[in-house]
Structure 1
Amino acid sequence: MHALYRQVATLMETVAAEVVLPRYQNLAAEEIEEKAADDYVTIADKESEIRLQEGLSKILPEAGVVGEEAVAADPTVMDNVGNGLQWIIDPIDGTGNFAAGRAPFGIMVGLVDNGVIQAGWILDPLTGRMCHAALGGGAYIDEERIAAKETGADKPIAALAVYFLTVEQRAEIAVKAEGKLTLVDIPRRAAEQYPRLVLGTNDVSLFERSHPWDHAAGALLLNESGAKLARRDGTPYIIGDNKRGLLGASSHRMWDKAAQILC
């Protein structure tokens, strides 16, 4: 798996250097499109996905490829998600930030076999930080194996992505969290949410949508580091299960505590 890690990491770093970073704070208006309300795509997203797909297909020709922008162009691509061996690509996670010329944003790749996440990579192009994990092989930042840690705060630090919830659901979450969690702003990219849970910056994250390109790599990073990501009822996150809602925490103890508060 180490050889595979290095091949994928090198590909992602090359795409970041040659495709993504040259466009950072250097996009023309016509190079930014709004796919849906507050959901953007840029020329860099499209070019990044093409380069990643080409490279990953050479690394493991037997694996299919599912990319965020491919699904946006043809939603039927999702019909096959979770079937067989597949690469999952988020060419730029945090496109809204990227398009606005601000950090953070990232590149994420996951490898999935029949819905079970086998490996994941999360690259921060601006700092070069590479978070990666392999099923049963642990979690790493760059070449150093990591164990997740809690913040140690009296009230757990929680970054809750509630913008896909209804107004009523948001109000319910706010009532449940009041006095029990310290709420902080979300970075609006999963590629930053997940490292923060591992590094002791945040204790809890809540997500409503669970697109595989947003969560495959981060889910494995958490679970292999000793933290925890699961459905709100505690069942595992399986790629292609078509469910909603994910709860992440910096430890199993913290996950149980957060679930009691929020779920």
Structure 2
Amino acid sequence: MTPRDRQVRALLADVAREAILPRFGRMADGDREEKSPGDWVTIADRESELLLAAGLQAIDPDARVVGEEACALDPTLLEDIGRGRLWLVDPLDGTNNFAAGRTPFGMLIALAEDGIVRHGWLYDPVADRLCHAGRGIGSFVDGVRVSATGSGRSLPIATFSRYWMSSEKAARLEQRAQGTLALEEGLRCAAAQYPALVDGRCDVALFERTYPWDHAAGALFVEEAGGKVARLDGGPYRIDDAATGLLAAATPQLWDRAAAVFAE
């Protein structure tokens, strides 16, 4: 790990111990609320984002911080994320799982410059595991370099979330995937879903929503491990592109196979 990787890892672990893990499975009444139907935010999200923002500014004062909860209060923060140097923060990814007292949930940080993600960190507070990647450097799990190979199954495992799409669209995808992909419900946690593509638990992941704090770190982690992440038309993923629909796969070949099913 580089000195910055060690600093970010220490910050993530410290914030998790202070603001997240003590509340896991112990949420009190009033500790959570719905930002929108089915989309929860908790006191742990808000407190951990403040702590992370302060810590990241200390690590790199020249980079501004753009966090999920800050953007929920002020959406204009997203207007210029394609310019300059910035930290992208999802302080508690998989909040719905966390609020229900179940795993997976995680923490996501990415460092971007002029719309290009240069570094990404995905932290599992329960396992104390860090996945991180640097553009042109590679992908690592707790400092050990990793490569994605896929599950090796004859029917590749493809995950998606029915929750964020219409029942009609989900039914169309299920019908088209028959005999080509084995569809499974996604984890509803990008911090866990992207590593699952690299360690062989799944081969493909289709994401409907593409908020930058959810995908910046994970997309880089999969790509640097040899996988492919792109829009369904094959276009590149950029953090300043607000379009819906993103397809990630353990290998370019698996991406092509899945795109033939999922592209509409």
Scaled to the shorter chain, the TM-score interval is over 0.9
Amino acid at match of 1:195: P
Aligned twin of 1:118: 118
Amino acid at match of 2:174: A
Shift of 1:164: 2.2
Amino acid at match of 1:77: L
Point out where structure 2 has 5 or more consecutive residues left out of the alignment: none
CA contact (8 A) 2:162 2:185 kept: no
Which contiguous aligned blocks of 4+ residues in structure 1 show a shift greater than 3 angstroms?
Answer: none
Q: SS at 1:240's partner residue?
A: coil
Between the aligned partners of 1:240 and 1:193, the Cα distance in structure 2 is 22
Between the aligned partners of 2:42 and 2:104, the Cα distance in structure 1 is 16
- For residues 7-46 of structure 1, the aligned pairs below 5 Å read 7-46=7-46
Aligned twin of 1:75: 75
Amino acid at match of 1:152: G
Q: SS at 1:30's partner residue?
A: coil
Amino acid at match of 1:67: G
Aligned twin of 2:167: 167
TM-score (norm 2): 0.97
Amino acid at match of 1:58: A
Structure 1 stretch displaced more, 139-148 or 185-194 = 185-194
- For residues 119-198 of structure 1, the aligned pairs below 5 Å read 119-198=119-198
Identity of aligned residues (%): 48
Between the aligned partners of 1:30 and 1:164, the Cα distance in structure 2 is 25
Between the aligned partners of 1:251 and 1:214, the Cα distance in structure 2 is 21
Q: SS at 2:83's partner residue?
A: coil
Matched, 1:212 2:218: no
Aligned twin of 2:236: 236
Shift of 1:146: 0.2
Amino acid at match of 1:106: G
TM-score (norm 1): 0.97
Aligned twin of 1:251: 251
1:47-66 Cα distance to aligned partner (Å, 9 max, x none) = 00000000001111111111
Shift of 1:163: 2.6
1:1-43 Cα distance to aligned partner (Å, 9 max, x none) = 8121111111111101111101111111111111111101111
Between the aligned partners of 1:162 and 1:60, the Cα distance in structure 2 is 39
